[in-house]
Amino acid sequence: MVTHVQAETQGDERGALLAFVEEQRGGIRRALLGLTEEQARLRPSASELSLGGLLKHVVEVEQGWVARAKQEPPAIHRDESNWHETFQLVGDETVASQLAYWEQVAAETEKFVRSAPSLDDTFPLPNDPWFPPEARVSLRWLCLHLIRETARHAGHADIIRESLDGRTAFELVALEQAG
């Protein structure tokens, strides 16, 4: 992305990790700037991905992983029957409602990561066939995973946005700074 994350305060590993998560959230938010609800739902390639769907997915993923780290169930249960809905705005879901929900999720992520006794604290991975049995990961792993997941989809968002109207990340940063 075309933004810069400031260097962390000496010894503030949590702050550094959270700053990189936020940087990548910004990439997805910027990709949605100036679009109508209809445009955010468009799938301009052979892929099923839309900007609204990517937004919903990253919000669900972040909420779900933080819930798991707290040893709570995710707010939305996904399985084979409804997995496709994680990438689609359905019913009365809108970009605005997902962005508002993301603010809440991001605040909860920040609060949880900052209040944990240690980034070395671990939690169990779900009992799903794609995870090793009885595996545990650290809160540091959680932060790195959120950076990776959000960055991956921020890159998808750049491509989708450019496919919709030709606007690049550089133009969208300028638009964000002007607005």
- Work out the average pLDDT over 46-70: 96
When the pLDDT of each residue in the chain is averaged and rounded to a whole number, the result is 92
What is the per-residue pLDDT across 154-164, written as a single tens digit (0 to 9) for each? 999 999 999 99
For residue 136, what is the domain's CATH number?
1.20.120.450
Q: What is the pLDDT of residue 3?
A: 65
Number of compact structural domains in the chain: 1
Q: Is residue 58 part of a domain?
A: yes
What is the per-residue pLDDT across 124-161, written as a single tens digit (0 to 9) for each? 998 888 889 999 999 999 999 999 999 999 999 999 99
Q: What is the pLDDT of residue 83?
A: 87
Q: Is residue 4 part of a domain?
A: no
Greater confidence (168 vs 53) lies with: 53
Q: Is residue 146 part of a domain?
A: yes
What is the per-residue pLDDT across 68-102, written as a single tens digit (0 to 9) for each? 999 999 999 888 889 889 999 999 999 999 999 99
Per-residue confidence band for 20, with pLDDT thresholds at 50, 70 and 90: very high
Q: Is residue 3 part of a domain?
A: no
What whole-number distance in Å separates Cα of residue 31 and Cα of residue 33? 6
Please, is 144 exposed, middle or buried when counting C-beta atoms within 10 Å of its C-beta (0-12, 13-18, 19+)? middle
Q: Is residue 142 part of a domain?
A: yes
Crossing angle between the packed helical segments 169-178 and 13-31, to the nearest 10 degrees: 100
Q: Residue 125: which domain range?
A: 13-178
Q: Is residue 1 part of a domain?
A: no
Q: Is residue 8 part of a domain?
A: no
Q: What is the pLDDT of residue 2?
A: 41
Per-residue confidence band for 4, with pLDDT thresholds at 50, 70 and 90: low
What whole-number distance in Å separates Cα of residue 92 and Cα of residue 175? 28
Q: Is residue 7 part of a domain?
A: no
Sign of the four-CA dihedral 43, 48, 49, 55: positive
- pLDDT at residue 1 tops 70: no
Query: Diameter of the chain by CA atoms?
Result: 50
